[in-house]
Amino acid sequence: MTFPLIAKTIAGLEDVLARELDSMGAGDIMKLNRAVSFSADTELLYRVNYTCRTALRILKPLFHFEILEQKDLYEQIYEFPWENYISAENSISIDAVISYTVFTNSQFVAQRSKDAIVDRLREKLGSRPSVDLENPDLKINVHLFKDACTVALDSSGQSLHRRGYRRSTGPAPINEVLAAGLVKLSEWDPSIPLYDPMCGSGTLLIEAAMVAKNIPAGFFRELWGFMKWRDFDADLWEKVKTGCQALKTDLRLDFFGTDRAEQAICSATENLQFTGLTNDIFLRVCSFEDSEPPFEKGFIISNPPYDERLKIEDSLAFYKMIGDTLKRKYAGFTAWLISSDLESVKFIGLRPSRRIPVNNGPLECRFLKFDMFAGKKGFSEVL
Ligand SMILES: C[S@@+](CC[C@H](N)C(=O)[O-])C[C@H]1O[C@@H](n2cnc3c(N)ncnc32)[C@H](O)[C@@H]1O
């Protein structure tokens, strides 16, 4: 039996997420804003949670209703038979997302929704569940758009970007879901050598390696929300995991990561050791301007500082350095860079052949492709 689901994602990754869900056999796929709706049975719900690289969480809608005035929220949520899903000994947490509604504060919506559930359970069971924001037994999502409210169970629990492999980070690590999305958007192919010259803790390289080796996105993770549901089917879950793990390959990779900060390379090394990828990804402390191409041609995918979380002294000079280095040393490469610093990226001085809007947290970024053609004509410079 299939049921409707919603996969949430990062703005700009809706297309790649829809393609990923399609390749997994999901039905009724429809792209939404920062989300994709689809249908699946329980087995596919487990598989999507275990293997999908570009979803942040998978929601299972329970009921919908209309909100004309504020009191409708409490009353409608109170009416739902929560006692069929949770007992008084369990814990809950509520995520609320609102836009264009009678409410102006999502915290207040979460609070009122929690009150309704707790009051209902106290009435029906004599006592109430507790609230646990970190590791609840049931995570509930309340989504309000204009006068439409959807209440859903969060089957993922913690966001799926928490892959479980990150042992150490730098000051501005990229979200794992975004990193996987960029790898997919770049149309990089696992047979192509890959280099991240500002690799930080190594997220982009690790996500690409997991794609290349077919390592499930959740391979290093232990807990998902659905594992605490009353209808959790442990045998089916084991079957799903075993089936996905059987598809892993031991393809040898030729990846390279450098960063000018020694601490970043220490973090990346720790993460590679944990994931068992030390023989596939070679790391070195080196600034990009002093780097030599680790292979004759290949792909660069990188997340340089944007002068937001990681300050740069002179961002125009920094981006000019990136462009100069690409032109001087990286003919034959395809380079993809993500940045929110749209003024400074102009100083790269190369015309991007693609420019894909994508968000990094609250920052509106562009993912830019530079084709560094080898040969006489060279690349297209912007003067
Ligand atoms: C936004 S962080 C990259 C984060 C990384 N994607 C991760 O997930 O951890 C940018 C990185 O660029 C490095 N960096 C800055 N200037 C550099 C340069 N000139 N050459 C090489 N690395 C540089 C910083 O040390 C930092 O680790």
Using alpha carbons only, what angle is made at residue 256 by residues 382 and 251, rounded to the nearest 5 degrees?
120
pLDDT of residue 231: 96
> How far does residue 170's CA lie from ligand 1's centre (Å)?
9
Positive or negative: CA dihedral 138, 144, 145, 151: positive
Of 57, 50, 1, 2, which Cα lies nearest the Cα of 26?
A: 2
Alpha-carbon distance 130 to 121, whole Å? 11
pLDDT of residue 378: 52
254-289 pLDDT per residue, tens: 999 999 999 999 999 999 999 999 999 999 999 999
Architecture of domain 3-154 in CATH?
A: 2-Layer Sandwich (3.30)
Architecture of domain 176-215+225-371 in CATH?
A: 3-Layer(aba) Sandwich (3.40)
Q: In the chain, where are the structural domains located?
A: 3-154, 176-215+225-371
Residues 145-164, mean pLDDT to the nearest whole number: 97
Residue 383, pLDDT > 50, answer no
Q: Structure tokens of 183? A: 């790898």
Residue 291 has φ and ψ, to the nearest 5°, of -75, 155
Whether residue 201 has its Cβ less than 6 Å from ligand 1: yes
Whether residue 198 has its Cβ less than 6 Å from ligand 1: yes
Whether residue 172 has its Cβ less than 6 Å from ligand 1: yes
Residue 197, pLDDT > 70, answer yes
Ligand 1 atom at shortest distance from the alpha carbon of 174: 8
Per-state percent for the chain, helix, strand, coil, to nearest 5: 35, 25, 40
Whether residue 174 has its Cβ less than 6 Å from ligand 1: yes
371 vs 87, 197, 338, 380, 382, CA distance in Å? 58, 16, 15, 8, 13
